[in-house]
Amino acid sequence: MMRIVTLLLTSLICLSCTPQDAVVTDDEQDSGITLNQTVINLSSGNTLQIDARSEAPVTYQSQNPFIARVSVTGLVTAQHVGSTRVRLDNGSDTREITVNVNPVYNLYPDPILEFGITRTTLLQRLGTPDNET
């Protein structure tokens, strides 16, 4: 029993000696970029305005403009199916938003390219074909 009490007191003393959390001043807080969302899902051809708040002017840059373009005002335009990131920078803070561009139409299911699966497993995933040959 005495060992347990000694162990608890020792661990309590060690934990109480850790440094305090950093205090954020108003100046540091104002220099950051505040975002409503970090992931945007769009269909090809759609647009969305990024809602970013900052004391300093924010610049926008798309990592892959082929998938999604972004204007100087933060208007994201979905171009082609895929995923990219938009970087926001105000000189003292940098944030990123993931942009997923989804297809407008999906007429055909994605092919199953798993080698070695059985016919039964394939039929369970896709259903029975209209015309078996």
Q: What is the CATH number of domain 29-102?
A: 2.60.40.60
The pTM score is 0.58
In this prediction, residue 109 carries a pLDDT of: 64
Reading the chain (133 residues) residue by residue, the pLDDT tens digits are 777 777 676 766 766 665 555 444 444 455 689 998 999 999 999 999 999 999 999 999 999 999 999 999 999 999 999 999 999 999 999 999 999 999 887 666 666 677 888 888 888 887 777 665 5
CA-to-CA distance for 4 and 122, rounded, in angstroms?
59
The structure tokens 């082929």 sit at 66
